[in-house]
Structure 1
Amino acid sequence: MSFLAFLIFSAVTVLSLPLEPRQDNTTAMSADSLAGRPRQQADAPYDVSTSTMQAAITCPKGIQHKRGGIVLLVHGTGSTGEESWQNSPYNELLPTDPLGAGYDICWVDLPQRALGDVQTSAEYVAYSINTLAPQSSTGKVAVLAHSQGAGLNVQWALDFWPSARSVTSMYIALAGDFHGTELGNDDCTPTQLANQGCVIAVVQQSVGSHYINAQNVRGGSALVPTSSIYTLYDDFVFPETAGSAVSVLSGASNIYLQQNNICGSGHQANHWAMITDTAAYGLALDALTHGGTASASRFQSIYCNEYASNHNLNLSQTSVAAEQACLSSLVTGPMTFSEPKLRSYVCQQGQSTYC
């Protein structure tokens, strides 16, 4: 089955999830194992002009210096900032939610709808954080991201741009594929990659890719206060099994929506629903108001069915539209016949030899 056909099928049905165990420490390395590795003393260089990356930042309501500071939203594969976030609760509700501190919202449009080289997308994230931090009332930026944006772009930026890490107050990941997704492996086999080619970002998000392996040398653990929120019914990022999911990040607060102390097994949120899901929003808001660490013990069950501060807000069609746009964009996404080489700074830092 082709990658596009598989995704279209996924949009209308919930996949049975593989049961192979995946512990959250299988790809992370301990501090001791990193002790002998060279430490990066400066930021990685930008390959993209700063003017181009500046033009990719949108703050739809302007920067009003709200008390909670700036929240940077990062979209996922095949989407744009506007498609994922404009009609989401993070833009419609979060800025003035009475249960929060008040936030300025900005998002970044990743190049080629985040279908190209993920390393380039990460540059946009690092630049956005550094550019927005001085404009934030807190002097720092809180980052919230979905899918590839969550699992790859932000974590890479925090690893290889220490200046961005130093001004990131917290990081909230929605359905992040920190350890890759087997969706890429299932469709983009070595034979297909060599003979027909695959979308670049799909290759890099596959389990066992050089990108994933390099990131998880150091980025396999939380680099700032982090919460990873995911769903067991994810039809793009999997396997997501209780306690051993690809979205589990060592050192983070890892919470899945189907936990008994969250919404239970009946909560059917899929991958794209995570950008509007009420329970995911409730956990994200909890993280924002508690230093980046969401807690199941503080979770309010009202969020399983509605936004606590706006009972009538219904944004479910936003996730459907974003998914459809993703599926359409994959048809013309940039292709490769081999995984792109990693940038020289990755090997210089000792996180790979594939440069």
Structure 2
Amino acid sequence: MPSPCERLALRTLLDAVDRHDPGLLALLAGRPTEGVLFGPLAAAGLDDLDVGLLLVALAARLAGRPQLTGDELVAAAAPTSAGRLDALCHLGAESPLLASGLLVPDVAPPHPAEAHATCWRVADHLLRLACEAAGHEAQPRRPLPRGPYRSHGELLTDLRRLSLAYRRRAARIFSLDPWVGVGLDSPDGAEVVARRAREAAAHVASRLAATDDAELPILRLKNEHGLDLDSLVVLVTLLFQELLEGLGVVDAVDLVRLVCESEEDILRRRHMLRPLQSAGLVRLEGSYAGKDLTADASLPERVVDELVGQQAIASDDRIDFHAYLQDLDSSDAFFFDLGFDETS
């Protein structure tokens, strides 16, 4: 529950940012260290200038400017040249501010001197915390369903949710996010994101173990080809990249990163797509001989049909289906038409 003190402090500081108050840093020195917003900022070890940079980016986001250059960011946070030089140093790749995940660069600058030309945005998580601190309470999340899968749609939803958890892990651990624009930034450190991905995988694995219905299309593929959970995630990731993002191919190296927690994992599992290729479940094209990670990966059409739970369809019907997908505003309508709720 946000406190009136925190709400007042946030409003006062944002007003100071809006009027370009040169006394912003002095005001920040008296900010709360507890609360919905300021508590996590203190726990992340952020100092006055770090919080000032965050508030500048937040104010820009609220004014309809989702990104600022480093030059714009430091100029608004510090009134003097010396202060701006300090602010640039707070934007280095090893800084606590970047480690917190609350301020997100388009590309992490290898040196603070390059931060001025980088584009920065406030993480969605910080915006949510600010909304809560302003008095808008977060809605409690529905607990995840447990027990055996009751339908193909329910299993597909869980695998898609697991794919997103894996993608957040890959973006955080490898500092790369090939799936741009999908809000995968995380405020947590790599260890926390990796732990959540493992927990999500354990949740799906336990439900799969409890499911006896071998007629579910994905389970038929799993049993027929002896697929493990990570292989199912690869297939579902390719499926939704095609159906919802319009991407017919994904770099093979990004799929391998998806199921790995470290560079050592990548070395060990660099050939993990070969069994899927041999089974005819994934196409790998354009690679150099013996170098799987240089390939483009895609799903054969029959595999798309099997994963969606459809029999092969005629070419005219397929054209109609793709036209239907292009008219979707979001994935919610797709899941609704499949007969289940994506958020369940």
Confirm or deny a common fold (TM above 0.5).
no
Q: Quick one: higher RCO (CA 8 Å, sep 6+), 1 or 2?
A: 1
- TM-score relative to the length of structure 1: 0.21
More strand by share: 1
Larger radius of gyration, structure 1 or 2? 2
- TM-score relative to the length of structure 2: 0.22
More helix by share: 2
